[in-house]
Amino acid sequence: MKDPFAAGNNAGITALLVGLILLVFAAIGMSLLVENNVGLPDFSSSSEDWVARNDSLRDKVNHLERKIAAYRRQQAEAGENRKKAELAKDLLRQAASAREEAGIIRRLIKSEQASLELLAKGKEECRLRYRDQIRLNAIA
C-alpha cells in the first residue's frame, strides 16, 4: 500500500486541501443564508405554508422591483436635470457675451455719432467758407 503522504505523492494533500476549501465555501454559504434570513427550506410544512411563503416572497420581490424602477426613474430625472442645468449655464454664458457685445456696439454707435457730428460741423464750415468765397467773388 502506498503512503498518501510520501514525498513524491501530492494527491492526498491535494484532496485534503480541496475538501477543506469546499467545506469553507459551504460554511460561508450557510452563514450568508442564515444572515439573509433565507434559511433552509422546511420540507415538513404543508402546501398552504409553501403557498403563503411563496406569496410573501413574491410580494417582497414586487416591492423591490417597484423600488428599483422608482430609483431608475429618479436617476433618469437627475440626468435630465443635469443636462438642463448645463444648458442653462451655457445660455447664461451666451447672455453675458451678448451683453458685452451690446456694450461694444453701443460704444461704436456713440463714436460713429460723434464722427457724424464732426463731419456735419466740418461740412457746415466748408459750406460757410464756400458761401463767403462766392460772395467775395461776386463783389469783386
| Residues 15 and 48 grouped into a single domain | no
Helix, strand, coil abundance in the chain, percent, nearest 5: 85, 0, 15
- Kindly state whether residues 91 and 119 are assigned to the same domain: yes
Which domain does 3 fall in, by range?
A: 1-40
* pTM (predicted TM-score): 0.41
Q: Does 50 share its domain with 28? A: no
Give the chain's domain count.
2
Q: Determine the Cα angle at 77 with ends 74 and 82, to 5°.
A: 125
Going from the C-alpha of 26 to that of each of 12, 31, 43, the distances in angstroms are: 21, 9, 21
pLDDT of 62-119, one tens digit each?
999 999 999 999 999 999 999 999 999 999 999 999 999 999 999 999 999 999 999 9
**In this structure, are 51 and 119 located in the same domain?**
yes
Query: Minimal CA–CA distance to 60: which of 49, 72, 68, 48?
Result: 68
Residues 32 and 57 in one domain: no
